Structure 1
Amino acid sequence: MSFDNKHDIVGDDEKASQIKVEQADNRLAPAQAMSEEEFASVEKKLKRKLDLRLATMVWLIFVLNYLDRTQNNIAAAKVAGIAKSLHMDSTQYATSVAILFVGYVLMQIPSNVFLTQLRPSLYLPLVMAAWGVLSALTGIVHNAAGLYATRFFLGFVEAAFYPGALFLLSSWYTRSELGTRSAFLFSGSQLGSAFSGLIGAGIQNSLEGARGLEAWRWLFIIEGSITVFIALCAILVLPDWPSTTRWLNETERAVAEWRLIKDAGQVDEDDESWSYGFKAAFADWRLYGFAFIFTCIQVASATSNFFPTIVQTLGFNRVNTLLLTAPPYIVSLFISIGNNWSADRLRNSSFHIM
């Protein structure tokens, strides 16, 4: 390549960068021209829309995520007789629990890389529909191998949601708003865990033997079908990115972008590929600290995989056993939201984490 040609390419890159900056300036102009009172008024309406459509929808999806994943429905299914029906011993059951997390770990990081290049309003509901189908298919397996296969692929597609939802929330809410919304999102896991026991009790009481199927099969089929329906609704409700969401007007999109820029203290003008953020994350020592803490938490909370079985040892029948699994999750729901609300108010997350 000649020097002149290289100079032309550099010049083209600079022109392209300049065009992007000008386009960003044009998008932000409506927000920058507002008075403080006007900006606050539009921002309030914007947050109301986001709380109603984004925060509420990802919360509902997360409830269903926990209904469909290993810790809850398969734990309830064990009480309802899945191990006996599939002629599984304790080792095979534990393997069916663990194998979901193989797919889960493999897909979480690649999924968020994909998400940066796609429309969240399509990507997240589509993976949700996929795990709903897989959950329903679990209700028709006839041996341990079939259960292993469905659980592995269930983890593979479910992995996209939680990190993707946090990423999407952080693309819309400021730092002082994100803690409470994140806690609200995570409360979906507690409610999903609680409902799993309640739904399991209802199905065990009402559908055992219906159409020749055991109650545990109905548990997977019903919960999976509900998930697919909600996924189709989510396509119409979820936003994309602040500059591309269609159900916001031009002024609201400008305010959404500008308030995040002000919160960050700088304009994000980097035109780097996804690898830039990937490398920056792995260069931050705090990432490893939080990863270690989270690993410890997950090890400690692994008892949820066997919680209904543990409660069953108290001597209650199947329905009451499943009902008794709900209260601890309801308590933790309120504690988690209250803790993060306090962290946002006091702007001190570290103390609240400890």
Structure 2
Amino acid sequence: MIKRLLWGDVPASKQEQKLIFKIDCFILSYCCLMYFTNYLDRSNVNNAYISGMKQELHLQGNDFNLINTMFTCGYIIGMIPNNLMLQLVPPRIWFLLMQIVWGVLTFCSSVVQNVQQLYAIRFLQGISEASTFVGTHYILRAWYKSGELGKRSGIFTCSGLAGTLFSGVLQAAVYQHLGGVAGRSGWRWLFVVDGVITLPIAVYGFLVFPDVPATTKAFYLTKEERILSFARLEPDHDVIRHPLSWNLAKRVLTRWRWYGCSLLFAISGETESFGSNNLMGQWISAIGGYSVEQADYYPSGVTAFGIVSTLVCATWTDYTRARWPVLVYMSICCTTAAICILVWSSPTGLKFFAYYIAGAAYSGQATTFAWANQICADDDQERAIVLASMK
């Protein structure tokens, strides 16, 4: 019971247990590291904004909102094409290319001279970073059973949140120790350091990522383990595989899955703006009385609460197979937070509490995507489209 609670379904044999251990070590480790850098390179602009970028680039009015909007536009455009490319190009190749692209763009952010250049970089970065979240959820379903998926999805989601948390801590350290070195501002060094972290992880993925069970040639899997990795999922679902054609659009548009799952995460994901747009950091900077380092450090509590909530909820869903209670929990936390923040006369301590519990919004990611993976398990291509459309 304890083993199932902590790690999902108990393997049927020692051989299967060994296989799961291997794919956890290599697939999950790379996906988590990749998503860590994905969020690190995504959220760094929020920390840079409150650490001197606003003044140096003379940002005014809606400039910062437009920076985030350009990233979001690129992300939306890139989601479905990126997931479809995983049907045509080996995942370890496609993930490598996309990670190199956004790593190079992160370096480019360190030398921008005006906001227009940052608009272009963030748009292209959004397209390339769109490959990671939905692509990984698509790949995880190819390797894990339904009863194993929730916890792994939760761990994967937490790795991205750890990137956000680490970005704030890293920016504070960079601002303090590298600001002014070689004539560069501290916020510019943040982009350089993030780029240095990103590129080696891309190479690691190229070396160890095993693609999917049907095509894997991973050096660490024996022939028997490769066969088992494919065969053990057959009782779980009968996957329909089609060549890419216009029939895919018909299948997606005439079923309820695309509409229902997309709407579910559109509502769930909207609440993540508490953390993803660093609203707490901007609020701390606006009210004054806090140092730059404090404005970078304190919002990390939002992410920390999100990590704890995600892991607890993912464990619960794998054990009970009930996913909807997570969304109820998330809604209660976010509604409470919104009320506390909207009441302007609320004491500062209560607003800190409100921002922190709003981190529960992140717990919906792993749950809703594991749910969609399970719902669409019988059609690989539809699953790729549905997962991409949700994010």
What are the superposed Cα offsets for residues 19-64 of structure 1, whole Å, 9 maximum, x if unpaired? xxxxxxxxxxxxxxxxxxx971211111000111101210111111
Gaps of 5+ in 1: 1-37
Deviates more, 1:133-142 or 1:324-333: 324-333
1:333 aligns with 2:307: yes
CA contact (8 A) 1:113 1:274 kept: no
Paired position in structure 2 for 1:139 = 110
After TM superposition, the structure 1 = structure 2 runs for residues 298-317 of structure 1, keeping only pairs within 5 Å, are: 298-304=269-275, 305-307=277-279, 308-312=281-285, 313-317=287-291
Q: CA deviation at 1:310?
A: 1.5
CA contact (8 A) 2:30 2:204 kept: no
Aligned mates of 2:214, 2:35 — CA distance in 1: 25
TM-score w.r.t. the length of structure 2 is 0.76
1:160 aligns with 2:160: no
Paired position in structure 1 for 2:96 = 125
**2:309 counterpart SS class:** helix
**2:59 counterpart SS class:** coil
What are the superposed Cα offsets for residues 196-249 of structure 1, whole Å, 9 maximum, x if unpaired? 110010001111111000011001111012111211111112111112222222
CA contact (8 A) 2:32 2:156 kept: yes
Aligned mates of 2:21, 2:258 — CA distance in 1: 32
Q: CA deviation at 1:271?
A: 4.2
Aligned mates of 1:59, 1:91 — CA distance in 2: 33
Task: Mark the CA change 1:343 to 1:330 in structure 2 (over 3 Å): closer, same or farther.
Answer: same
Residue among 210, 225, 229 paired with 2:181: 210
Paired position in structure 1 for 2:31 = 58
What are the superposed Cα offsets for residues 249-308 of structure 1, whole Å, 9 maximum, x if unpaired? 2111111111111111x4x46444365555434333243233223222333322331432
CA contact (8 A) 1:66 1:189 kept: yes
Task: Mark the CA change 1:275 to 1:249 in structure 2 (over 3 Å): closer, same or farther.
Answer: farther
Residue among 214, 218, 243 paired with 1:243: 214
Q: Larger Rg: 1 or 2?
A: 1
Paired position in structure 2 for 1:263 = 236
Task: Mark the CA change 1:202 to 1:293 in structure 2 (over 3 Å): closer, same or farther.
Answer: same
Q: CA RMSD in A?
A: 1.8
Aligned mates of 2:308, 2:190 — CA distance in 1: 27
**1:322 counterpart SS class:** helix
Aligned mates of 2:23, 2:107 — CA distance in 1: 31
Residue among 27, 46, 51 paired with 2:19: 46
Aligned mates of 2:176, 2:40 — CA distance in 1: 18
Residue among 217, 225, 229 paired with 2:200: 229
Residue among 201, 216, 227 paired with 1:254: 227
CA contact (8 A) 1:133 1:225 kept: no
CA contact (8 A) 2:85 2:94 kept: no
Paired position in structure 2 for 1:28 = none
Paired position in structure 2 for 1:149 = 120
**2:200 counterpart SS class:** helix
Q: How many residues align?
A: 313
Gaps of 5+ in 2: 1-10, 329-391
Task: Mark the CA change 1:175 to 1:98 in structure 2 (over 3 Å): closer, same or farther.
Answer: same
Paired position in structure 2 for 1:287 = 258
**1:245 counterpart SS class:** coil
Aligned mates of 1:99, 1:269 — CA distance in 2: 36
CA contact (8 A) 1:39 1:255 kept: no
Aligned mates of 1:146, 1:154 — CA distance in 2: 12
What are the superposed Cα offsets for residues 53-112 of structure 1, whole Å, 9 maximum, x if unpaired? 10121011111111111xx21110011111111111031121111110111101100111
Paired position in structure 2 for 1:321 = 295
Counterpart of 1:346 in structure 2: which amino acid?
T
